């Protein structure tokens, strides 16, 4: 049985003051959730969030990591550094990284490999653009993105978390319907099953304008094992009600 995971992606939002208010509100309201909960915060705030979350049931995650281990890579952050601040998860290949920072499938696969080798669980993001969906290319695109990660990671693939995030649904208020999301998740699950006998363990998150109103229906789908939540993770009541909708 896969334990569901609700992960917040703060993106480039927050401040020392706002983070403290948000985390304290989450800790006050979260109770004992039936799912796992994580916050993927900006790197600059890992230390602060690590100390605020320490000993709580909420895990810490980063939003990106270098594919390199150490050395002359100005501006980059290594897995070892993330580990020092208690990061359990790291987003890899978010569509904003692919789009604005030109991360290719092979770079994403190397980042996932580096994270796994360091004991950090990569949350690997895949998803099609609106043009790709309209051209009937959704399956081809997500399968290509996942194939690169499977190829680089071999049997370790069962240790990843996979997030299906249709690009057209991220930050737009347009959510994939539960049926649309489940259909793609089933395709991804089948691809994982062909690669690993442990594929049933892998959590597949849906991300893209998930909110308090649509979470329950999405999370009830057979192959949707949680959510990756951007905008709604910045508001404690909204994020808490998504967590509460997991059963």
Q: Which residues form the interface with ligand PEP (CB under 6 A)?
A: 9, 11, 165, 170-171, 207-210, 228-232
Contact by Cβ (8 Å): 108, 95: no
Residue whose beta carbon is closest to ligand PEP: 230
Which listed residue (96, 103, 165, 185) is catalytic? 165
The nearest distance, CB 120 to ligand PEP, in angstroms, is 18
Six-digit token pair at 138?
């959704």
The nearest distance, CB 229 to ligand PEP, in angstroms, is 5
Dihedral in degrees, nearest 10, Cα atoms 93, 73, 70, 164: 0
Between residues 163 and 195, which has the closer beta carbon with respect to ligand PEP? Answer: 163
Which listed residue (94, 128, 159, 185) is catalytic? 94
The nearest distance, CB 186 to ligand PEP, in angstroms, is 20
Burial class (CB in 10 A: 0-12, 13-18, 19+), 112: buried
The answer to whether 165 is a known catalytic residue is yes
The nearest distance, CB 23 to ligand PEP, in angstroms, is 19
Between residues 14 and 230, which has the closer beta carbon with respect to ligand PEP? Answer: 230
Cβ neighbors of 64 (< 8 A, separation 6 or more) are 43, 77, 90, 91, 92, 94, 97, 111
Backbone angles phi, psi at 131, to 5 degrees: -60, -40
Between residues 93 and 208, which has the closer beta carbon with respect to ligand PEP? Answer: 208
Between residues 142 and 195, which has the closer beta carbon with respect to ligand PEP? Answer: 142
The answer to whether 68 is a known catalytic residue is no
The nearest distance, CB 40 to ligand PEP, in angstroms, is 9
Between residues 61 and 231, which has the closer beta carbon with respect to ligand PEP? Answer: 231
Contact by Cβ (8 Å): 240, 26: yes
Residues involved in catalysis: 94, 165
């Amino acid at each position: 049985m896969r334990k569901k995971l609700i992960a917040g992606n703060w993106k480039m939002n927050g401040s020392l003051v706002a983070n403290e208010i948000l985390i304290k509100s989450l800790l006050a309201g979260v109770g004992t959730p039936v799912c796992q909960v994580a916050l993927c915060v900006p790197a600059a705030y890992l230390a602060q969030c690590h100390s605020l979350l320490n000993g709580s049931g909420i895990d810490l995650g980063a939003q990106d990591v270098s594919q390199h281990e150490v050395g002359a890579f100005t501006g980059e952050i290594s897995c070892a550094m993330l580990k020092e601040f208690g990061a359990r998860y790291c987003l890899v290949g978010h569509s904003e990284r692919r789009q604005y920072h030109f991360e290719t499938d092979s770079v994403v696969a190397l980042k996932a490999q580096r994270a796994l080798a360091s004991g950090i669980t990569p949350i690997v993001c895949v998803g099609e653009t609106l043009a790709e969906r309209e051209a009937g290319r959704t399956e081809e695109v997500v399968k290509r993105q996942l194939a690169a990660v499977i190829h680089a990671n071999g049997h370790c693939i069962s240790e990843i978390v996979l997030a299906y995030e249709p690009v057209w649904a991220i930050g737009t208020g347009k959510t994939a319907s539960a049926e649309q999301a489940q259909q793609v998740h089933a395709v991804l699950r089948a691809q994982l099953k062909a690669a690993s006998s442990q594929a049933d363990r892998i959590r597949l998150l849906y991300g893209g304008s998930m909110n308090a109103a649509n979470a329950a229906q999405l999370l009830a789908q057979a192959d949707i094992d949680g959510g990756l939540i951007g905008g709604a993770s910045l508001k404690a009541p909204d994020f808490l009600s998504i967590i509460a909708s997991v059963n």
